[in-house]
């Protein structure tokens, strides 16, 4: 019993040796430090973008639009002038050609020529240096409102009746299912679902690839042979998975702290606290708990696959070729999730929520947007955990044989060779 305990202590010590080596070697690299610093600077910059824009454009005058009014009266121009807020309409007394020359000389933002149809309703033509002009869109929307008002007046419809016509319809939505989300919970869950889906997508691509490249790099530099002597291959694989996961969590923690600090500093201007800002203030504790569960399970699922694949190649150029199918799976789950945000109850989303490679994103999306029965959630998690254990068992066998394989690789035939070699290694 004592010898067994000593063996367990020795294995744990070796596990933490690999874990600490992988974690510290990653967080101390220039790339990691520089990327973290860039993330923090970008976050600070995003919060101060409005101030920067105001500094350059705050003192600028509103654009002036030259107006040639060819209508019988100036009713349309007066209505435009009364509702203009983002520009200044100014009557032009010269010819249309002279006004166009003035626009070309940048004296005006554009030229608006007002006319009337046979029904005495407003028509207009707008001339500017470029077709993509935001002022023209504003004027077009104003003229549409003026046209409706004048047409209603000609038809003898009073203003009060027009207001009743354009008033929003009274429409109340009530869910009969007791498990259905309230509108407040949906508002919070929507933001949380999007954050988790995007975070899992990025973490798998970035840190899954990091696991594979880290293993391949150690094989190519022969560091792997030293690490194997201090730890079993299987323990080494899981130590790397956890270590790279901690590398990612460290970076996420830095970003979260930075966002929290900036929201607190500029909270009044942003109109809310930290959780209001990221849109999860109304998310239920159950939804937050499932967010953490599915994120962890999703990371371990894909990280384990990447670790097994990375162990069978010894050249950096072969990693991308072997790991690319995993990336495509994650991308497929991501795009399905984006589709599911607008149709969370569609048959496609329901079916794919039970497919383990899609479950972390799709099932959590359903949990966040719908009232999913507990048995469905339990079944999806059970399938996902069973899949992770199966893949971990297979990946451990591949890893045991793969770390000793050198030479040109990049094909899935290497996996068979790794499994065969693993069977010949004494535990």
Least confident of 54-68, 234-248, 250-264: 54-68
Chain centroid to Cα 98, Å, comes to: 50
Shared domain check, 193 and 159 = no
Residue 273 lies in a domain: yes
Going by the DSSP 8-state scheme, the letter that residue 315 receives in this structure is: S
Determine the angle formed by the axes of helices 374-402 and 413-423, rounding to 10 degrees: 80
Q: Is pLDDT above 90 for 382?
A: yes
Query: Sheet harboring 122-127: ordered strands across?
Result: 88-91, 64-69, 110-116, 122-127
Shared domain check, 154 and 301 = no
Q: Please, what is the average pLDDT of the chain?
A: 76
What b/e readout covers 335-358, taking b as 16+ CB neighbours within 10 angstroms?
A: ebbeebeeebeeeebbebbebbbb
DSSP codes, 221-243 = TTHHHHHHHHS-HHHHHHHHHHH
Residue 197 lies in a domain: yes
Chain centroid to Cα 33, Å, comes to: 23
Interval 2-19 mean pLDDT: 70
Q: Is pLDDT above 70 for 142?
A: yes
Q: How many CB atoms within 10 Å of residue 319?
A: 23
Q: Is pLDDT above 50 for 351?
A: yes
Residue 59 lies in a domain: no
Residue 1 lies in a domain: no
Residue range(s) defining the domain that contains residue 105: 64-166
Shared domain check, 408 and 356 = yes
For residue 136 the two structure tokens come to 């023209």
Q: Residue 51 has what pLDDT?
A: 67
Q: Is pLDDT above 70 for 105?
A: yes
Shared domain check, 233 and 192 = yes
The domain boundary residue, chosen from 109, 139, 166? 166
Q: Residue 427 has what pLDDT?
A: 47
Per the listing, tokens 């004494």 go with: 426
Least confident of 256-260, 357-361, 396-400: 396-400
Q: Residue 275 has what pLDDT?
A: 52
The domain boundary residue, chosen from 143, 166, 189? 166
Shared domain check, 203 and 148 = no
Interval 300-304 mean pLDDT: 85
Q: Phi and psi for 60 in degrees, rounded to 5? A: -75, 150
**Dihedral of alpha carbons 415, 204, 327, 347, sign:** positive
The domain boundary residue, chosen from 166, 191, 226? 166
Residue 343 lies in a domain: yes
- CATH code for the domain in which residue 71 is found: 3.40.190
Q: Is pLDDT above 70 for 414?
A: no
Residue 55 lies in a domain: no
For residue range 211-241, what is the model confidence (pLDDT) as tens digits? 777 777 766 655 555 555 555 666 777 777 8
Q: Is pLDDT above 50 for 154?
A: yes
Least confident of 241-255, 280-294, 357-371: 280-294
DSSP codes, 36-49 = HHHHHHHHHHHHHH
**Dihedral of alpha carbons 261, 264, 270, 273, sign:** positive
Q: Is pLDDT above 60 for 272?
A: no
Shared domain check, 187 and 40 = yes
Q: Is pLDDT above 80 for 297?
A: yes
Contacts of 111 (CB under 8 A, 6+ apart): 65, 66, 67, 68, 92, 96, 99, 100, 102, 103, 126, 127, 128
Q: Residue 237 has what pLDDT?
A: 74
Shared domain check, 241 and 135 = no
Interval 5-10 mean pLDDT: 66
Q: Residue 303 has what pLDDT?
A: 84
Q: Phi and psi for 65 in degrees, rounded to 5? A: -110, 125
Shared domain check, 91 and 208 = no
How would residue 128 be classed by pLDDT, with cut points 50, 70 and 90?
Answer: confident
Per the listing, tokens 């009364």 go with: 82
Least confident of 10-24, 142-156, 215-229: 215-229
Shared domain check, 343 and 217 = yes
Q: Phi and psi for 103 in degrees, rounded to 5? A: -65, -40
d(CA 394, CA 396): 5
When mean pLDDT is compared over 183-187, 284-288, 366-370, the highest value belongs to 366-370
Shared domain check, 209 and 252 = yes
Number of domains the chain contains: 2
Residue 72 lies in a domain: yes
Determine the angle formed by the axes of helices 183-203 and 285-310, rounding to 10 degrees: 10
Contact 220, 318 (CB under 8 A): no
Shared domain check, 386 and 254 = yes
For residue range 171-217, what is the model confidence (pLDDT) as tens digits? 776 666 666 666 666 666 677 777 778 888 888 788 877 877 777 77
At residue 61, the 3 state secondary structure works out as: coil
d(CA 108, CA 121): 26
Shared domain check, 185 and 155 = no
How would residue 384 be classed by pLDDT, with cut points 50, 70 and 90?
Answer: very high
pTM: 0.66
Contact 382, 364 (CB under 8 A): no
Residue 185 lies in a domain: yes
Q: Is pLDDT above 90 for 385?
A: yes
Spatial CA neighbour of 208 closest among 73, 80, 298: 298
């Amino acid at each position: 019993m004592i010898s067994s305990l000593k063996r367990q202590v020795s294995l744990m010590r070796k596990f933490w040796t690999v874990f600490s080596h992988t974690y510290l070697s990653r967080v101390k690299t220039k790339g990691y430090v520089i990327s973290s610093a860039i993330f923090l600077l970008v976050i600070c910059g995003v919060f101060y973008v409005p101030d920067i824009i105001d500094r350059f454009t705050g003192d600028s005058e509103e654009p002036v639009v030259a107006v040639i009014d060819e209508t019988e009266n100036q009713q349309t121009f007066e209505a435009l002038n009364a509702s203009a807020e983002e520009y200044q309409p100014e009557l032009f007394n010269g010819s249309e050609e002279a006004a166009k020359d003035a626009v070309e000389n940048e004296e005006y933002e554009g030229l608006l020529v007002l006319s009337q149809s046979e029904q005495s309703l407003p028509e207009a033509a707008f001339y500017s240096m470029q077709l993509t002009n935001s002022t023209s869109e504003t004027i077009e929307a104003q003229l549409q409102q003026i046209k409706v008002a004048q047409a209603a007046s000609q038809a003898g419809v009073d203003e009060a009746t027009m207001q009743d016509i354009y008033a929003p319809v009274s429409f109340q939505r009530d869910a009969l299912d007791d498990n259905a989300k309230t509108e407040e919970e949906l508002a919070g869950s929507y933001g949380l679902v999007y954050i988790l889906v995007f975070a899992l997508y990025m973490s798998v691509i970035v840190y899954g690839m990091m696991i594979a490249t880290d293993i391949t790099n150690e094989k190519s530099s022969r560091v792997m042979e030293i690490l194997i002597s201090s730890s079993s291959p299987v323990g080494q694989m899981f130590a790397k998975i956890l270590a790279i996961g901690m590398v990612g969590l460290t970076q996420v923690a830095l970003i979260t702290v930075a966002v929290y600090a900036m929201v607190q500093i500029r909270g009044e201007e942003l109109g809310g606290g930290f959780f209001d800002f990221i849109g999860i203030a109304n998310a239920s504790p159950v939804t937050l708990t499932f967010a953490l569960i599915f994120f962890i399970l999703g990371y371990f699922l894909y990280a384990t696959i990447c670790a097994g694949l990375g162990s069978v190649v010894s050249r950096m150029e072969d990693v991308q070729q072997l790991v690319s199918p995993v990336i495509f799976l994650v991308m497929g789950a991501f795009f399905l999730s984006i589709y599911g945000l607008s149709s969370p109850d569609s048959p496609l989303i329901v079916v794919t929520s039970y497919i383990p490679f899609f479950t972390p994103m799709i099932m959590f999306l359903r949990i966040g947007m719908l009232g999913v029965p507990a048995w469905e959630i339990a079944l999806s998690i059970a399938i996902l955990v069973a899949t992770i254990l199966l893949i971990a068992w297979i990946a451990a066998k591949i890893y045991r044989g793969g770390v000793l394989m050198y030479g040109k690789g990049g094909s899935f035939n290497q996996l068979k060779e790794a499994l065969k070699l693993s069977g010949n290694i004494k535990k």
